Amino acid sequence: MITLPGAGGRYPWRFRLVAGFLLVAAILISWRIVELHVLDEGFLKTQGDKRSVRHLPITAHRGQITDRHGEPLAVSTPVMTLWANPQQLVEHPQRWPELAAALGTDTATLGERLQANATREFIYLRRHMTPQDGEAVMALRVPGVNALEEYRRFYPAGEVAAHLVGFTNVDEVGQEGLELAYEDWLKGVPGSRQVLQDRRGRLIKDVQVVSNARPGNDLALSIDLRVQYVAHRELRDAVESYGARGGSVVIVDVRSGEILAMVNQPGYNPNNRSRLEPSTMRNRALIDVFEPGSPIKAFTVTAGLMSGRYTPASTMDTRPGTMRVATMTVRDIRNYGLLDLTGVMAKSSNVGVAKIALDIGAEQIYTLLRDLGMGEYTGLGFPGESVGNLPNHPRWRPVETATLSYGYGLAVTTTQLAQAYAVLGNQGRKVPLSLLKVDEIPAGQQVIDPQVSAQVLAMLRAAVDGENGTGSRARVPGYQIGGKTGTVHKTAAGGGYSSDRYRSVFTGIAPISNPRFAAVVVIDEPTSGEYYGGLVAAPIFGQVMADTLRLLNVAPDDLPALQQVELPPVTTGEAG
């Protein structure tokens, strides 16, 4: 037996203790090796992957928005976004000048950003560059500079459809309009790809696609871009010509409820929002409410006819052009004398409709207006849509009844007014409005008796085509047009109504013999001197409707009769 002098011999317990420790350590290390390589072999792989494997997103393509004929209104185009790892880039300050020049910035600004974010691993250098410009920067091979493939939303129609379509933010998330309303439908589902990177974040290998990106769904709108362009052009020119604060035009297909055009002024360019004014983003046709004025007279007359107490031939005595109702005086522009209901409509007599309303009661008018969609949402689902205000008093006072009859004391949107007139044009049947293309026309709900609707349409035609009708400037050669003008006093800041601030309104239907379209034109506060609806809004309606009827191939219904001429028979030898 060998004895170690001075160690095991003198202190045998120390040797045994050290040997025991070494033996236990060897056993533990051996067990750990077996555990890692046999029992838990995925642990080392997982730890290695955590340090080198990354999952990068694959950007999904957002759905396209088109008009009813497939014309693009919103598309996503591929762009390149450059980002940097500041921890790596700060080590190469000699490359900053050429990088700054390629990015279109100065070296000092770039340097300040990098130094401020020196402890981070990711910052954006520039987003949404064209692929050509992005490739030019990447060709410099600056350490720490990387690229991402993204998409940028582009709006081919620009200002023409901006209020309706809306826009997205830099990350392609809907912020306004239908882009916001249909965000869940339009957005895609991003995919993922697995890559290997070194400790500096440099790509070593593109391993595999973990999940493919799923593009968003396309959205086909009800609007016809040709009609939208026409309405936008005429409204823009009119607002500028009359020095107005703004305006709206809405055109509805009376049979399907599809909105063929919806434009507003002032507008904005969704492709360049660097100087965007918030007030120009508002879709006035669905958000702004106003007292409609005289266009409501058509429904007061309708309620009178539906009550059975009146016929188109019923006579109203409007003399002497004024009527006292409690503490208020109802006035016409002049003394129209005796008028039948057609004359009441054509002359826009306040006294005439007030007498009808006081006779049949405000409840019948209120019920009709409610059934036509006033005082409730249109169901379009547009963000920020206003519901308007249709008062329902427990007991209607004579003054409230009289003012309701000619369109004061309630508030509507341009779109609600267009829907109401579309019901008149659809034989009294109300169909839901739609901003999306409709494949099958809904059955709708009968709101007005078809015979009454036809009688009111004839009265509306007299207001345009009749002698001295207030809407004569809305005429369209070759077509029977019906409509109603409105000149509405705006409310004053201190209460009451302003004496020099107006809204000019025209609501119309075309062609009267077989209605296809209802349209509303609203001009807010014209300042050029003219403000009557028949002088300001009616000509816009006439031009827009003339182009709409032509573009959509609607046959004329008011052409002069062709003279029949009998030609003599052609004899043999005379034909040339």
Query: Annotated catalytic sites, by residue?
Result: 294
- Token couple for 575: 């034909």
d(CA 341, CA 264): 34
- Token couple for 269: 């360019």
- DSSP E strands in 96-155: the ranges are 123-129, 145-154
**Position of tokens 């086909």?**
220
Pairing of strands 65-66, 219-220: parallel
Secondary structure of residue 169 in the 3-state scheme: coil
Q: Are 417 and 439 in contact (CB under 8 A)?
A: no
Backbone angles phi, psi at 138, to 5 degrees: -65, -25
Q: Are 86 and 117 in contact (CB under 8 A)?
A: yes
d(CA 482, CA 457): 7
Secondary structure of residue 86 in the 3-state scheme: helix
d(CA 227, CA 325): 45
- Find all residues with CB under 8 Å of 566, minimum gap 6, and list them: none
Q: Are 296 and 405 in contact (CB under 8 A)?
A: yes
Q: In terms of Cα–Cα distance, which of 351, 399, 368 is closest to 302?
A: 368
Residue 150 corresponds to which amino acid?
E
d(CA 195, CA 106): 33
Q: Please give the angle made by the CA atoms of 508, 514 and 517, to the nearest 5 degrees.
A: 40
Burial 201-226 (b: 16+ CB within 10 A, else e): eeeeeeeeeeeebebbeebbbbbbbb
Pairing of strands 246-253, 322-325: unpaired
Q: Are 459 and 480 in contact (CB under 8 A)?
A: no
Q: Give residue 172's region: left, alpha or beta (phi > 0; psi -120 to 50).
A: left
Q: Are 227 and 551 in contact (CB under 8 A)?
A: yes
Furthest-apart CA pair in the chain: how many Å?
Answer: 153
Tell me the β-bridge partners of 123: 84
Cα dihedral value 366, 368, 369, 372, nearest 10: 160
d(CA 136, CA 103): 10
Secondary structure of residue 332 in the 3-state scheme: coil
Q: Are 130 and 79 in contact (CB under 8 A)?
A: yes
**Position of tokens 């052409």?**
559
For the chain, first and last CA: distance in Å? Answer: 145
Helical ranges in 35-61 per DSSP H: 42-52
Distance of CA 224 to the CA centre of its chain: 14
